Structure 1
Amino acid sequence: MVDLAALVPAHADVRIEVGIFGGSGFYSLLDDAQEILIDTPFGQPSAPVTVGRIEDRTVGFMPRHGPDHHLPPHRINYRANVWAMKHLGATDMILPCAAGSLDRQVAPGSFVLCDQVVDRTKNRPDTFYDGPETVHVSFADPYDEELRATALTVARERGITVHDGGTMVVVNGPRFSTRAESRWYAAQGWQVIGMTQYPEVILCRELEMAALNISLITDYDVGLADDPDIAAVTHSEVLEVFAANISTLRDLLFALVPALPLSPDRPAFSALSTTPH
């Protein structure tokens, strides 16, 4: 069980407003950055939280796979990572990730601001409430509408190809899909496939933080059946496309953070008070 009232920053002089999980390359641009290593009730996070400023906002960044990308998706300590951001005061979480496309219209190199998640993971601790207190958190709308609307506006102002909304199916990894699995996911009408958004986003909700997904599309999963030139994804392809677009993602984040309204009355902030215990 998590006592939200006990989540008081241990470092009185460090308090962030926005937390960002992602790959390496973002934190190097934070002004006057400092690393804060936080011990959590759930073990060690993937890395220290790098704290700095983007214009007038204090931001915490953590590479979810570790500083050397040594943690595969199923080995990430999601609870420790999310707890650390809440501990430092984050109210809003931005969750960028590399993802595959299940829809021809969602091409590699484009971005999707997902509004729904389907969980197909296994054996991942996905709640802070293991008993004796039982909490059932509403999760009908996993992501924050205000954050998504702001990100959409900022992306379009910069000429970035972005899709407003979409469903991500989250698989356990580290393997990619079979053709049968990919066809099934696409037949459900799901647009995006990834490996890290769950349980990351539900854990944010349980700690009453608003969340935004930004999916950078790197591939077409198992390829396109009607186009033999588009083959099944490989890890090297993911890294290549991500590297080619990381500057666009970084620019989007650095334009987005100062534009966030950070309204105080959004649904995620009362997730526990509006759910049965």
Structure 2
Amino acid sequence: MSNITGKPIETGIIGGSGIYAIDGFQLLEEKSISTSFGEPSDSYIIGELGGIRVAFLPRHGRNHHLLPSEINYRANIYGFKVLGVTSIIGITAVGSLQDEFPPLHLVIPDQLIDRTVSRKPTFFGQGIAAHIPFAEPFCPLLSKQIYDAATPVTPEISKGGTLVTIDGPAFSTRAESNLYRQWGGDLIGMTTYQEAKLAREAEICYAALAMVTDYDCWKEESADEVTVTTVVSNMHKNSANAQAILTGLLPQISTVKTCHCNKSLQGAIMTNPESIPDETLEKLRLLIEGTLNTPKG
């Protein structure tokens, strides 16, 4: 699908409402999309930067009124699929579980641990079973492109790390924080796991740019700093770097995919196509018609 001027929108960005306040960004339209999985967090903000079309989505709504577990992750990712997006960058605020990732550091994680219990983590079910490969939850190609764009902007950037996703909205207890450290966790946040998993099911490349805001509460001398005030303040300090990284990154995102993200449903669907209920088939047609070779209705 294309926007009003017919040019394709291939890149999506999920983040706070300030992320798209980039110098040189030309707003073209705001597009509301209703999906078969409900309503996304907000309208998609579609614009152009350096000749590249991009769609932004405020993860929590532009007034930040959605808790992490209230976000309709399925609708958000499905909406990007409707727009024709093939790569998504998730900008996310995280706490650090390790000394090597201090506040204001940027990290491109490569692994995830899911500690959420109250979310809908898949498009499938209701008569269709699919099991995607997810050993490497972030697109390696897109992650490298983010890192390459970030290194000229700031030396405070690291590639690799395990991000633990929790339900929230409260921050962790100290016992939980230390447990995640023992598991090998490097970062902690409240949103990334579902975005990465659903993007993989939708055969969209996904990578994250994590902005460290605090040391979580394991570091007792810094525990009092894990407050909304501190998090928001450090997010704002990091936003200028994030904007500069996106400015350099967008023209470099390859439309030729050498990764396997866009083939993740090949062999993943176990259900006989003839057994899939019509209602479920129609609901998932955009995601699976190329895999099942289902006729268009």
Check the 8 A contact 1:219/1:238 in 2, yes or no. Answer: yes
SS in 1 for 2:75: helix
1:171 and 2:166 aligned: yes
User: Which residue, out of 52, 75, 93, partners 2:47?
Assistant: 52
- In structure 2, what is the equivalent of residue 16 of structure 1? 9
Counting only pairs closer than 5 Å after superposition, residues 104-253 of structure 1 correspond to structure 2 as: 104-225=99-220, 228=221, 231=224, 233-253=226-246
Q: 2 CA distance for matches of 1:81 and 1:276? A: 22
Match of 1:87 in 2: 82
SS in 1 for 2:224: coil
Q: 1: distance between equivalents of 2:230 and 2:65? A: 18
Conserved in 2, the CA contact under 8 Å of 1:14 and 1:88? no
Alpha-carbon distance, 1:229 to partner = 5.3
Q: Quick one: distance in 1 between partners of 2:126 and 2:204?
A: 21
- Matched residue of 2:233: which SS? helix
1:41 aligns with 2:36: yes
Measure, in 1, the Cα distance between the counterparts of 2:217 and 2:222.
12
Q: Decide whether aligned partners of structure 1 residues 212 and 229 sit closer, same or farther in structure 2, where only a CA change above 3 A counts.
A: closer
Q: Is the 8 A contact 1:223 1:232 kept in 2?
A: no
Distance 1:274 1:222 in 2: 43
**Deviation, structure 1 residue 48:** 0.5
User: Contact conserved, 1:101 with 1:219, CA < 8 A, in 2?
Assistant: yes
Please list the CA deviations of residues 52-108 of structure 1 after superposition, one character each: whole Å capped at 9, or x if unmatched. 112132100000100100001010010111000110000000011000000011000
How many equivalent pairs are there?
Answer: 268
Query: In the alignment, residue 246 of structure 2 is paired with which amino acid?
Result: L
Aligned match of 2:56: 61
Distance apart, 1:223 and its partner CA: 4.7
Structure whose CA Rg is larger: 2
Cα distance 1:122–1:230, how it changes in 2: closer, same or farther (>3 A)?
Answer: closer
- With normalisation by structure 2, the TM-score equals 0.86
Q: Provide the C-alpha distance between the structure 1 equivalents of 2:252 and 2:162, rounded to a whole number of angstroms.
A: 25
Q: 1:252 to 1:10 in 2, by over 3 A?
A: closer
Aligned residues of 2:93 and 2:213 also touching (Cα < 8 A) = yes
Tell me if structure 2 keeps the 8 A contact 1:223–1:233: no
Structure 1 pair 259/231, CA: closer, same or farther in 2 (3 Å)?
A: same
* 8 Å contact kept, 1:101–1:108: yes
- The structural deviation recorded for 1:261 is 2.1
Q: Give SS of 2:64's match.
A: coil
Q: Describe the SS at the equivalent of 2:151.
A: helix
- Identical counterparts, % of pairs: 35
Cα drift, residue 230 of structure 1: 5.4
Structure 1 residue 248 displacement after superposition: 1.1
- Distance in 2, matches of 1:9 and 1:156, equals 32
Q: Tell me, what secondary structure is at the counterpart of 1:221?
A: coil
C-alpha distance in structure 2 between counterparts of 1:229 and 1:83, whole Å: 39
Residue by residue over 1:129-183, the C-alpha shift from the partner in whole angstroms, topping out at 9 and shown as x without a partner, is: 1131100011010111111111112211223411111000000000100000000
Provide the alpha-carbon RMSD of the alignment.
1.7
Q: What is aligned with 1:261?
A: 254
Q: Which amino acid aligns with 2:32?
A: L
Gaps of 5+ in 1: 1-7
Aligned equivalent of 1:27, options 9, 12, 20: 20
**TM-score, with length taken from structure 1:** 0.92
Give the aligned partner of residue 277 of structure 2: none
Q: Which moved more, 1:66-75 or 1:21-30?
A: 21-30
Q: Contact 1:9–1:87 (CA<8 Å) still a contact in 2?
A: no
Partner of 1:272: 265
